[in-house]
Amino acid sequence: MQVIPTGLEGVFILEPKIFTDSRGYFFESFSERIFCEKVRKISFVQDNESKSSFGVVRGLHFQKPPFTQSKLVRCIRGCVLDVAVDIRKGSPTFGRHIAVELSEENHRQLFIPRGFAHGFSVLTPEVVFQYKCDNYYAPQSEGAIAWNDPALGIDWKIDPSAIILSEKDKHHPTLAEADWLFDYEENLYP
């Protein structure tokens, strides 16, 4: 597996080595040993899956302490534009984002560490998206930033008139308006 650093500290693209023959393909989608050596020591405790149709934007979500989460995400059907935004006050990359296409063809994964907001847009008629999380979901710890915050400058690769949002995702604050953000100096991995 190739681990590719991005322009954001702690955010990595993972590309598996794919073995193909006349029967199809095989690849190792996760190895704790390799992940801990090349990315960080981690213990994933919850796997989630979502199904969405073209135009859906989910995000930009995060979990506040004590349920802060890292995520390892991948798209197993279709294609998404996956986005991670640095929301750690004091970080040299505060407010910057990385956007990566994840698809059933490229088999890429994106690791989003604690201290980042996460979201994705659906670029194909249908997607099935999987998340590995290192902490349990807790609704009382939900946090979010507006998907269309102009200061973030995210191009979701979808015409804004075609975007489909949940009712909650229509009403999140911009990064500047957020009443809660992470502190870059705080250790989020006790």
Strand partners, 74: 109, 130
Tell me the C-alpha distance between 9 and 86, whole Å.
9
The tokens of 180 are what?
């809660």
Do 83 and 119 meet the contact criterion of CB atoms below 8 Å apart? yes
Task: State yes or no: is 25 an active-site residue.
Answer: no
Task: State yes or no: is 172 an active-site residue.
Answer: no
The tokens of 131 are what?
């998340």
Do 155 and 83 meet the contact criterion of CB atoms below 8 Å apart? no
DSSP 67: S
- 3 state SS of 141: helix
Give the active site residue among 107, 118, 131, 172.
131
Tell me the C-alpha distance between 84 and 87, whole Å.
9
- Active-site positions? 61, 131
